[in-house]
Chain A
């Protein structure tokens, strides 16, 4: 393909490729199209094999000239994957297996019908739904950061250009640099990586610095357990992030951009590499972009499994080949960052919003959101909800809408207990907060935080002391060790929590936990330490009764903490089959097959739970 070296050529390319995309979506060339989800979730459920099978079956039946097979980025609704979508009808098939391919070809493509049993079934109404937009999970969503994801082929720059890529850059390059910053300021865009710092202000600081070299760094070290939005953006539309980075570079006066991406995300890294390579080939990265005097180059660096590197100054140290330990601030990176030069560090999702704002206009962005949190936020919904996956919702959507409308409520008729946001730096919201509009400030006011967007739902079977302990184990492991309060404080907190979950806690431990939380918070240099105790203080505030139950009654109300539960056989349900006794590793279950119900000797039982999963009649219970 020819290089795109001026705005006119970009317009021509956009028009040409848009026509091609329209052909795919609306069948303007008489062809139909299949798109298959190529996100990490669906790929591990065989979506590549599904694609290959489609190609083979269509070829065998001489249909390959009439139907194209395409792979796109994440559909978001991961628990229902792999997805296959058929254009122009817009039919969405879910949970497709390789063995379903022939049926789809036969019934849909040849007989022009619909494969009924592959349609999504609404869990409430039990109705089958044919189109994606009619599914509740998608109804309240608005795709800004995820623009293009699940629509375009992420490994094909032509489709991205046809879908609007580089239009925003082109517009920005014909604006004054300060005007670009003003638009970002006006949009109210705040950092999507956790802190919520106004992006425009960060840019302004770096713009104001006089320096021969400046850098833009994209933070793709998405380490919060339970968060995968940045990965999906990079997998679904990597060029949107590259374009955001270039606009930032133009605005602050940088010529070099660095991506720092987790090594745990091989597909994202691969697609980012492809996108960078294709953009370079077209001359859209490099010298004199679109005929202007703006030159920009992009580099990719991989993380090596250290959570703290998500902290911006630790990340910079890591790029510089050092241990990923945070630096004292000030000086802030905008003044003295990578190799001592003014640097802005923006998160993937933040940068993905930038082209949308510049291309569609500030108003189009600010019409979503609340007064102080504009636009949308992507959440990774996980845990105990029916619809697990990735959702992008306008800021201000309530917790209730998120959990019950979009996520489809809690499975198995269980009761909602808590929504955990902000990962190991965040806290829990409970039933009384269901009608809280989700935005940066509301979450902080409730002792949690937005974080990068992990949203884990817990039900009555989750023990909140155990959850607190889980986060503390994580933080204790990931603390870089630089600040004593974080290094030692988190260790002491973990020891106390372990003591409590083992049934050896005392009431005075609660005061010590509060004291340690306070010291860790106030004595640490970076956000990791400053927020490390949030999960503890939050669960202690909201679920103090659970802590007290562990300490005073020596019970775990959710039946999770091993030392505090007892297994027993419900004699009315026991069919005397002896399966439990045969599976018990310590032979503590006795009874007579067919005659006497079985009994568990608690003093010998090691609480491994083998009998519970072995019993076909659900007669083994916990108390």
Chain B
């Protein structure tokens, strides 16, 4: 799928913004990831043209870092922390429950594009273990029983947003 006009313009602007940095690839990719939620092949090709770096090199970097994604993510990214402090307080069971309820595995997105489950490596919220982060909100001390409520929360938020939009 070809990139849309506005996307091409925005990516070019991002590349341009960092043109005075000695080695800007990571910064460009972070900005594109934040802006679009993923870095498709077409975007990598465009970055290649703009920077003169090979697509192979860019693809190598994109696939190395877990923050960069080749596929779009869901509207609600459910990050379950599996850092040590959370793990010893049963976060594995929490992520298992999300998987059962949403029918997807960590790293996957539901077919309707609503949810992505991410297994996170320590978000530094160890005192709140086990912690679950949905987009920017952190849910502290999540028990298996709370999982359903978190999903409901997201659905309610989405419904409210749609209503507002209409």
Task: For B64, give its contact among A225, A228, A323 (CB under 8 Å).
Answer: A323
Q: Is B151 at the interface (CB under 8 A from chain A)?
A: no
Contact present for A462 and B121 (CB under 8 Å): no
Judged by a CB distance under 8 angstroms, whether A474 is at the interface is yes
**Measured between alpha carbons, how far is A298 from B140 in the docked complex, in Å?**
35
Among A168-176, A301-309, A516-524, the stretch in contact with B: A301-309
Shortest A66–chain B CB gap in Å is 33
CB <8 Å contact, A225 and B67? no
Q: Is A118 an interface residue (CB 8 A)?
A: no
Contacting A at CB under 8 A, from B133-166, are 136-138, 140, 143-145
Q: Mark contacts of A216-233 with chain B using CB atoms, 8 A cut-off: 1 yes-contact digit, 0 otherwise.
A: 000000111111100100
User: A144 at the A/B interface (Cβ < 8 Å)?
Assistant: no
Docked pose: A458 CA to B89 CA in angstroms: 10
- A456 touching B30 by the CB < 8 A rule? no
Known pairs A304-B67, A467-B88; A44 contacts B125 (CB<8 A): yes
Say if the beta carbon of A377 comes within 8 Å of chain B.
no
Measured between beta carbons, the chain A residues less than 8 angstroms from B30 are 263, 302, 304
Q: Does B25 contact A (CB under 8 A)?
A: yes
Which residue of chain B lies nearest to A480 when distances are taken between CB atoms in the complex?
A: B64
Q: A226-B84, A318-B26, A470-B84 are in contact. Are A380 and B144 (CB under 8 A)?
A: no
Contacts of A420 in B (CB 8 A): 84
Q: Which of B78-118 contact A (CB under 8 A)?
A: 82-85, 87-89, 93
Asked if A226 and B85 make an inter-chain contact with CB atoms under 8 angstroms apart, the answer reads yes
Q: A225-B84, A318-B26, A324-B65 are in contact. Are A78 and B128 (CB under 8 A)?
A: yes
A183 close to chain B: CB less than 8 A = no
Residues of chain B within 8 A of A103, CB atoms compared = none
Asked whether A116 is an interface residue with its Cβ less than 8 Å from the other chain, the reply is no
Q: Which of B29, B61, B124 interacts with A264 by CB under 8 Å?
A: B124
Q: Mark A393-415, 1 if CB is under 8 A from B, else 0.
A: 00000000000000000000000
> For B140, what are the chain A residues with a Cβ–Cβ distance below 8 Å?
44-45
- Expressed in whole angstroms, the Cα–Cα distance for A79 and B126 within the complex equals 9
* Chain A, residue nearest B139 (CB): A44
A470 near B127 with CB under 8 A, answer no
Closest chain A residue to B25 by CB distance? A321
Q: Mark the stretch among A247-255, A382-390, A536-544 that contacts chain B.
A: A382-390
CA A307 to CA B121, docked complex, whole Å: 9
B52: Cβ under 8 A from any A Cβ: no
B163 to chain A, nearest CB (A): 24
Known: A263-B30, A323-B60, A323-B64. A227 touches B122 (CB 8 A): yes
B64: A residues at CB distance < 8 A: 306, 323-324, 480
**Residue of A whose beta carbon sits closest to that of B93:** A609
Is there an interface contact between A305 and B66, defined as CB atoms closer than 8 Å?
yes
Q: Encode contact with B along A11-48: 1 for CB under 8 Å, 0 otherwise.
A: 00000000000000000000000000000110011000
- Whether A137 sits at the interface, judged by CB under 8 Å, is no
Q: How far does the alpha carbon of A471 sit from the alpha carbon of B84 in the complex, in Å? A: 8
Quick check: is A364 within 8 A (CB to CB) of the other chain? Answer: no
Residue of B nearest to A265 (CB): B124
Q: Are B129 and A304 in contact (CB under 8 A)?
A: no
Interface residues of B, count at CB 8 A:
43
* Bound: A384/B145 CA distance, A: 21
B76 touches A (CB below 8 Å): no
State whether A225 and B144 are in contact (beta carbons under 8 Å apart), knowing that A323-B60, A323-B64 are contacts in the complex.
no
- How far apart are the CA atoms of A101 and B148 in the complex, in Å? 31
Residues 1 to 60 of chain B near chain A (Cβ within 8 Å): 22-27, 29-30, 33, 57, 60
Residues of B within 8 A of A609 (CB): 93, 144
A321 contacts B124, C-beta separation under 8 Å: no
Is A556 engaged at the interface, CB distance under 8 Å to the other chain?
A: no
B22: chain A residues at CB < 8 Å are 320, 339
Closest CB of chain A to B88's CB: distance in Å? Answer: 5
Query: Please, what's the 1-or-0 string for A122-145, where 1 marks a CB less than 8 Å from any CB in chain B?
Result: 000000000000000000000000
Asked if residues A613 and B144 are in contact (CB atoms below 8 Å), the reply is yes
- The CA of A225 and the CA of B80, in the complex, are separated in Å by 13
Whether A423 is near chain B, meaning CB under 8 Å from some CB there, is yes
A326 contacts chain B at the CB level, 8 A cutoff:
no
A324–B93 Cα distance when bound, in Å, is 32
Q: What B residues does A245 contact at CB under 8 A?
A: none
Residue contact A228 to B126, C-beta cutoff 8 Å: yes
B77 at interface by CB-CB < 8 Å: no
Contact of B127 among A81, A324, A423, A467 (CB under 8 A): A81
Q: How many Å lie between the Cα of A474 and that of B136 in the bound state? A: 24
Query: Which of B68, B84, B131 has a CB less than 8 Å from the CB of A456?
Result: B84
Given A226-B84, A304-B30, A306-B66: A388 touches B144 (CB 8 Å cut-off)? no
Nearest CB in chain A: distance from B103 CB, A: 14
Shortest beta-carbon distance from B82 to chain A in Å: 8
Using a CB–CB cutoff of 8 Å, the interface residues on chain B facing chain A are 22-27, 29-30, 33, 57, 60-61, 64-68, 82-85, 87-89, 93, 120-129, 131, 136-138, 140, 143-145
Q: Which 10 A-B pairs have the closest CB atoms?
A: A78-B127, A321-B25, A382-B85, A225-B83, A304-B65, A228-B124, A44-B138, A225-B122, A305-B66, A226-B84
- List 18 contacting pairs A-B, 8 Å CB cutoff, sorted by A: A41-B125, A45-B128, A78-B128, A223-B122, A224-B122, A225-B82, A226-B85, A226-B122, A265-B124, A302-B30, A303-B67, A304-B29, A304-B66, A323-B61, A380-B126, A382-B126, A388-B129, A462-B88
